[in-house]
């Protein structure tokens, strides 16, 4: 009977685990959809800023701006991971991608970690982690990212870094996410266009329609009050938008990966409970058969 009790206890344990993981799956599904909608809500704003930049791309003033120039030196990596686990290979994929981007020269890499997992990983391996921020809330705004981008721009202006890239999980579909690197300094119109286009997933009802937004830079463009004033506001804004949307993409990927992981855990818990129920029935039937056999043998012995 002790064996039967042990099996029954395991069955109840697996059923309770399945209930919890199923609830986490449902919560992650809702959060994933909200994350997509948040990213889409800012797409028009990002596309408008990109449109201004592309219209200015033909001017000589744009190419002379310090944020547009290619130079050799240290690289800054903005690594976006999650604070929580139970999301499959979400975080490990990002940190591996960031390590490949940094190469082997730790002394030439400065890390800005958004998310506890990435911060702990790079700190423990001797990287220069200048900033570590939590990545728990789903209600982060674009203005909250200015703390990171302002620091990056400050280091760039001081000449301490010459390049900057953001590393995150790009949301492709519910069952597919891809570790992605976007170079945001020096600023390139084609790179920013990929960021804007990537706000929409590749599949599903939010996928882009055929065609798309195309902007053609005119031969000449009048800028008021002057080009430097516009660029000093526009380029930092575009960089901040790129980081913010990378965070939103990573959030959607996190909830999607967790939803899939929890679904797999729920299915496995049901399978284990089913197998243990069959084992329980077999053991119970064997015990009943043995007891009946002992009773029959006793009756025969008394005759």
Which residues share a beta bridge with 176?
Answer: 173
Number of C-beta neighbours around residue 301 at 10 A? 7
CATH of the domain at 42: 3.40.1380.10
Q: Are residues 14 and 160 in the same domain?
A: no
Alpha-carbon span 57 to 53, nearest angstrom: 6
> Does residue 217 fall inside a structural domain?
no
> Does residue 274 fall inside a structural domain?
yes
- On the question of pLDDT at 218 being above 60, the answer is no
CATH of the domain at 6: 1.10.287
Q: Are residues 41 and 89 in the same domain?
A: yes
> Does residue 92 fall inside a structural domain?
yes
pLDDT tens digits for 123-145?
A: 998 899 999 988 877 777 777 78
- On the question of pLDDT at 62 being above 70, the answer is no
Alpha-carbon span 222 to 59, nearest angstrom: 10
Q: Are residues 173 and 282 in the same domain?
A: no
Q: Are residues 114 and 135 in the same domain?
A: yes
- Start-end of H helices in 42-86: 43-56, 60-64
Q: Are residues 152 and 287 in the same domain?
A: no
Q: Are residues 139 and 284 in the same domain?
A: no
Q: Are residues 187 and 296 in the same domain?
A: no
pLDDT tens digits for 167-193?
A: 999 888 778 888 989 888 888 777 777
* Residue 6 tokens, joined: 């042990």
Q: Are residues 135 and 238 in the same domain?
A: yes
**In the chain, how many domains are there?**
2
Quick one: pLDDT at residue 292?
84
> Does residue 211 fall inside a structural domain?
no
Q: Are residues 277 and 171 in the same domain?
A: no
Domain carrying residue 15? 2-24+262-302
- Residue 165 and residue 182 in contact, taking contact as beta carbons nearer than 8 Å: yes
**Mean pLDDT lowest among 104-108, 156-160, 245-249, 279-283:** 104-108
> Does residue 71 fall inside a structural domain?
yes
Q: What is the mean pLDDT of residues 27-55?
A: 75
**Mean pLDDT lowest among 198-202, 212-216, 237-241, 281-285:** 212-216
* Residue 16 tokens, joined: 């309770």
> Does residue 212 fall inside a structural domain?
no
Cis peptide before 186 (omega within 30 of 0): yes
Q: Are residues 59 and 148 in the same domain?
A: yes
What share of the chain in percent tops pLDDT 90? 22
Residue with tokens 């380029």: 235
- Residue 161 and residue 69 in contact, taking contact as beta carbons nearer than 8 Å: no
Q: Are residues 178 and 231 in the same domain?
A: yes
Q: Are residues 163 and 294 in the same domain?
A: no
């Amino acid at each position: 009977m002790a064996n039967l009790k042990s099996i029954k206890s395991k069955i109840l344990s697996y059923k309770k685990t399945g209930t919890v993981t199923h609830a986490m799956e449902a919560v992650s599904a809702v959060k994933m959809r909200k994350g997509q909608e948040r990213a889409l809500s800012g797409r028009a704003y990002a596309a408008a800023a990109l449109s201004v930049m592309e219209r200015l791309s033909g001017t000589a003033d744009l190419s002379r701006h310090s944020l547009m120039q290619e130079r050799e030196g240290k690289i800054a990596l903005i690594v976006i991971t999650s604070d929580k686990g139970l999301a499959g290979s979400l975080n490990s994929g990002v940190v591996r991608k960031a390590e490949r981007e940094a190469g082997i020269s730790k002394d030439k890499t400065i890390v800005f970690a958004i998310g506890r997992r990435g911060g702990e990983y790079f700190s423990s391996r001797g990287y220069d982690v200048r900033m570590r921020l939590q990545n728990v809330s789903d209600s982060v705004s674009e203005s909250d990212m200015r703390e990171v981008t302002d620091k990056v721009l400050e280091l760039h202006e001081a000449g301490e870094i010459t390049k900057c890239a953001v590393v995150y999980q790009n949301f492709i579909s519910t069952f597919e996410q891809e570790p992605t690197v976007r170079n945001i300094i020096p600023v390139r119109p084609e790179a920013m266009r990929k960021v804007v286009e990537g706000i929409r997933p590749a599949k599903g009802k939010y996928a882009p329609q055929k065609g798309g937004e195309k902007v053609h830079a005119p031969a000449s463009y009048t800028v008021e009050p002057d080009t430097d004033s516009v660029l000093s506001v526009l380029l930092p804004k575009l960089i901040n938008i790129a980081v913010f949307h990378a965070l939103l993409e990573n959030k959607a990927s996190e909830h999607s990966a967790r939803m899939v992981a929890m679904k797999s855990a729920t299915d496995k818990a049901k399978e284990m409970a089913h197998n243990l129920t069959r084992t329980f029935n077999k053991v119970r039937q064997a015990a009943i058969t043995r007891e009946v056999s002992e009773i029959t043998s006793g009756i025969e012995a008394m005759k």
